[in-house]
Amino acid sequence: MTLTAQLPEALRGVRLDGRNALVAGAGRGIGLAAAIGLAQAGAEVYLASRTPAELERAADSIRSAGGRAHPLVFDVTDTGAMQAAVARIPNLDILINNAGGNLPEPFLDVTEEHLDRILDLNVRAAFLVAQAAVRKMLEWSDRRSRGGAVINITSQMGHVGAPLRTVYCMTKHALEGLTKSLAVELAPQNIRVNSIAPGAVQTPINRAAWDTPAALKALLELIPYGRIGQPEDIGRAVAWLVSDDADYVHGQTIVVDGGMTLYPEFARGG
């Protein structure tokens, strides 16, 4: 993905000049799209991932298009490394809390090792990244006038249930709860907190889920809008939601899924 795509007409007025943004899980997929959307709007972006080569490519693509990007290599589950990296950011206005993972398997086959791995990544690390980022935001002497924004990237699975995804659904529901509680607690500091819940999005981690014509057809039957989401769909939502245009949107979830979380029979026309 490159920075060559232009913001749609409706978003060309969105500007984030002078803002610093941290994107966790920024090496590819939704995180990279979010970073690109923020850079297109003028933010200086700090890209966090544990994969140096991916981060360098992402940062280079943003810089080559005139944006400002800085790679930060760390694993979000390594709390000490994460906190040290966040502390090195000069100041922070925006957090996109995107790092996460999934191990689809039947409920009765979930091992403690797999349970702990996904809980550690999707819940514990997300909480601690938010905590470190908000502490950094509050170092700004006049945060109440400048404002700040946190977006937790959750999932449509944070609003429904699904077979083979009991742990994933549990963790994404937890992030939705974190979003609401943080929104209440941080409002007095003028830090807005919201979540974006993507549906089926064409990312490297998801491609295997619809790698046959039959699987793709079955998936599309569940999406009223008739197409699979692209990372850019999430990136545009991120850029708008952290901007001043969304100043009164607080403690909410924007589900970006082409209508997939609607009653499935609606998508089938029944």
CATH number at residue 49: 3.40.50.720
| 164/181 Cα distance (integer angstroms) | 28
What is the extent of the structural domain holding 36? 14-203+228-263
Residue 52 has pLDDT above 80, yes or no: yes
Report pLDDT for 143.
77
CA atoms within 13 A on the CB side of 87: 6
- Number of domains comprising the chain: 1
pTM score of the predicted model: 0.91
Q: Is residue 215 part of a domain?
A: no
Three-class SS state of 69? strand
Q: Which residues of 87-106 are buried (b: 16+ CB within 10 A; e: fewer)?
A: eebeebbbbbbbbbebeeee
Q: Is residue 137 part of a domain?
A: yes
Active site residue 225: no
Report pLDDT for 41.
95
Q: Is residue 6 part of a domain?
A: no
105: its two tokens: 């398997």
Q: Is residue 127 part of a domain?
A: yes
CA angle 36, 142, 97 (to 5 degrees): 35
Q: Is residue 218 part of a domain?
A: no
Confidence of residue 9 (pLDDT cuts 50, 70, 90): very low
Residue 205 has pLDDT above 90, yes or no: no
Q: Is residue 211 part of a domain?
A: no
Confidence of residue 146 (pLDDT cuts 50, 70, 90): confident
DSSP 99: -
Contacts of 163 (CB under 8 A, 6+ apart): 106
114: its two tokens: 């797999």
Among candidate residues 168, 225, 248, 263, the one labeled active-site is: 168
Residue 213 has pLDDT above 80, yes or no: yes
Angle of the 125-137 helix axis to the 79-87 helix axis, nearest 10: 20
| 162/156 Cα distance (integer angstroms) | 10
Q: If you average pLDDT over every residue of the chain, what do you get?
A: 90
Residue 61 has pLDDT above 60, yes or no: yes
Q: Is residue 81 part of a domain?
A: yes
